[in-house]
Chains A and B, each alone.
Chain A
Amino acid sequence: DAKTTQPPSMDCAEGRAANLPCNHSTISGNEYVYWYRQIHSQGPQYIIHGLKNNETNEMASLIITEDRKSSTLILPHATLRDTAVYYCIVRISGSARQLTFGSGTQLTVLP
Chain B
Amino acid sequence: SQTIHQWPATLVQPVGSPLSLECTVEGTSNPNLYWYRQAAGRGLQLLFYSIGIDQISSEVPQNLSASRPQDRQFILSSKKLLLSDSGFYLCAWSVRQGGEQYFGPGTRLTVT
B36 at the interface (CB under 8 A from A): yes
B11 at the interface (CB under 8 A from A): no
A99 and B101 form a contact (CB under 8 A): yes
Cα A100 to Cα B101 with chains together (Å): 12
Q: Enumerate B59-92 residues with CB–CB distance to A below 8 Å.
A: 59, 90, 92
Cα A99 to Cα B101 with chains together (Å): 9
A91 at the interface (CB under 8 A from B): yes
Residue from A44, A95, A100 in contact with B98 in the complex, judged by beta carbons closer than 8 Å? A95
A42 nearest CB neighbor, chain B only: B105
B106 and A42 form a contact (CB under 8 A): yes
Residues from chain B with a CB closer than 8 A to the CB of A111 are none
B98 and A46 form a contact (CB under 8 A): no
A97 and B98 form a contact (CB under 8 A): yes
B104 at the interface (CB under 8 A from A): yes
B99 at the interface (CB under 8 A from A): yes
B111 at the interface (CB under 8 A from A): no
B98 and A91 form a contact (CB under 8 A): yes
> A80-98 vs B: 1/0 string, CB under 8 Å?
0000000000011111111
A-B contact pairs, 6 of them (CB 8 A): A41-B106, A43-B105, A45-B103, A96-B49, A96-B97, A98-B34
* Further pairs besides A46-B101, A99-B36: 9, Cβ < 8 Å: A43-B105, A43-B106, A44-B101, A95-B97, A98-B34, A98-B36, A99-B101, A100-B43, A102-B43
